[in-house]
Structure 1
């Protein structure tokens, strides 16, 4: 992480602005492919998101990290409702799937963020969207042992009897599966 990414990660907007005005490269990434938007979204720093999106040029709103996750995915996965709402209002693509086929709905369900999950349901994400293993958000919530998310998804109309294509042990949600 360079100083610019760290300032976004910790939400230090004045430092970020100083660094940008001093010529910092705004399109930098860390070793995992996290950009300014990823860092700010994951930690819920809406003022930083606003500065990056509104004041910097040529920042791709839907840029993916090495897992194929956008800032929208990161906000959902880490329960950052305000950041998620800001990204939605900024016009991000809600339906992007990461390299494992997970949508923001899968990630929020698995990590147990019912408020974020409810917002994703409200904006119309497909409850039956399957990732590459055939898992829906309901499967992800069950696998992550998230009873509040399971109840929420069932109440929203998720299919209680949907089958997956998984035949082995559950996978690690934090890293791509070995191919």
Structure 2
């Protein structure tokens, strides 16, 4: 096997921590948000972010089909303070379904935007953050369904952006994965540069932050939004230590590479195996991206854990070698720079 192949497929070596781009494939698939993904018993114990805040809610025979009748029977006063004192366990507004959904969850699921907005004004913040059996908050569901107005109202009322569903995704993760740019803008509008840092650092159970999902799914508008909001462009995903720039290079995604470079991403960031974005670009024979990185200041002499530089991985490919300065020569397969 040639040296150049070693960084083309990061899963070839048993000693590599990196499992390659294929390990992210499941995140790219569109799954129905109502379908459970297996037994959650152990996952809930391990990953529950905080105690459920629905202790005042009682189990009910409420069904999705009865939503309209329930809403018609309830007085949806905009005087939330007065109405909240009247809520009791017998009131359908304080009931949950067998799936853990409140009436607000159901209104969002059925895309009853007006009813959802009325309920948001009615309920206190604690109710807005109730999570169903899939650990989805109303904000998660509104984002899945791209209900921008509902997302905006929830955020204004103080719904938490840090709650994670059964896959560890926050509502902003959902927006970045599915390209819900308007929803992402609505939920981050009132946050100044850098104030979203705690949310943007959250990783799902696959080790991916919002920035990683936006890069993996080629959501350029969301990448721009995250850069504007002060996302750490050098945050590493949890499985192999790749940054968003590593991921963009692996996918030969020139627009994302340009965007991340212009945003100030560290071009010499190393994965857990020591490979920089330039190592990956050269290993994949991507002349355009290798040139972009090098012209922007990437260091071609950095060595990975196998003591290889990006030049070592060029494997005498004249097109790749033409990217680098002509004063670089190799002696016994090692790159040296003439002083």
The two structures have a TM-score, normalised by structure 1, of 0.72
- Structure 1 position 129, deviation (Å): 1.2
Q: 1:36 aligned to 2:141?
A: no
Q: 1:103 aligned to 2:243?
A: yes
Change (3 A) 1:142 1:7: farther
- Residue in structure 2 matched with residue 133 of structure 1 by the alignment: 273
- Structure 1 position 75, deviation (Å): 1.5
Change (3 A) 1:14 1:103: same
Per-residue deviation, residues 85-129 of structure 1 (Å, max 9, x unmatched): 111212222232222222221111112221111121112222111
**SS of residue paired to 1:60:** helix
CA distance in 1, matches of 2:285, 2:141: 32
CA distance in 1, matches of 2:146, 2:284: 29
- Residue in structure 2 matched with residue 71 of structure 1 by the alignment: 210
Per-residue deviation, residues 60-96 of structure 1 (Å, max 9, x unmatched): 2332222332212221232222111111212222232
Change (3 A) 1:18 1:80: same
- Report if aligned partners of 2:202, 2:209 keep a CA contact under 8 Å in 1: yes
More divergent stretch after superposition (116-125 vs 144-153): 144-153
* Runs of 5+ unmatched residues, structure 1: 168-179
Which structure: larger Rg? 2
- Residue in structure 2 matched with residue 175 of structure 1 by the alignment: none
- Residue in structure 1 matched with residue 261 of structure 2 by the alignment: 121
> How many equivalent pairs are there?
167
The two structures have a TM-score, normalised by structure 2, of 0.41
CA distance in 2, matches of 1:45, 1:128: 31
More divergent stretch after superposition (71-80 vs 83-92): 71-80
- Report if aligned partners of 1:109, 1:141 keep a CA contact under 8 Å in 2: yes
- Structure 1 position 7, deviation (Å): 4.4
**Backbone CA RMSD of aligned residues:** 3.4
Change (3 A) 1:150 1:16: same
* Runs of 5+ unmatched residues, structure 2: 1-32, 34-135, 308-339
Change (3 A) 1:55 1:113: same
- Residue in structure 1 matched with residue 219 of structure 2 by the alignment: 80
Change (3 A) 1:157 1:19: closer
